[in-house]
Amino acid sequence: MTAWQAVLATVRGRERDEWVSALRSTAGTWARAYAGEPLTKPERALSLAGTDLEQLTETRCAWCRRPLEQPVRGRRRYCSDRCRKANYLLTDH
């Protein structure tokens, strides 16, 4: 049984239809994340809203999620100045 089937087994009727619809709408996002592809613009906006909840992986750019080459010392959060500035411009500080 997949995780989705397990969730759907706990709900019936109209609520189940709502869950099917909600889960289906996220399928593309999960598939792209699994393949390691960069976030789409709407996903990027959502990822900003979720940064307090979800720890960003240290090996991906905090803005576009492309894999980062880590320097020997310190940690880079962004793959480029462009991403660092984009994040700076769209967050409160």
Binding residues for Zn ion, rule: CB under 5 A, are: 61, 63-64, 79, 83
Residue type, 47: S
Nearer to Zn ion, 10 or 91 (CB): 91
Nearer to Zn ion, 16 or 44 (CB): 44
CA angle 63, 64, 65 (to 5 degrees): 100
Neighbour count for residue 53 (Cβ, 10 Å): 6
Minimum CB separation of residue 63 from Zn ion in Å reads: 5
Nearer to Zn ion, 28 or 67 (CB): 67
Minimum CB separation of residue 13 from Zn ion in Å reads: 44
Q: How far apart are the C-alpha atoms of 29 and 7, rounded to whole Å?
A: 18
* Residue 38, token pair as written in the block: 């960069």
Output Rg (C-alpha) for the chain, integer angstroms: 17
Minimum CB separation of residue 65 from Zn ion in Å reads: 7
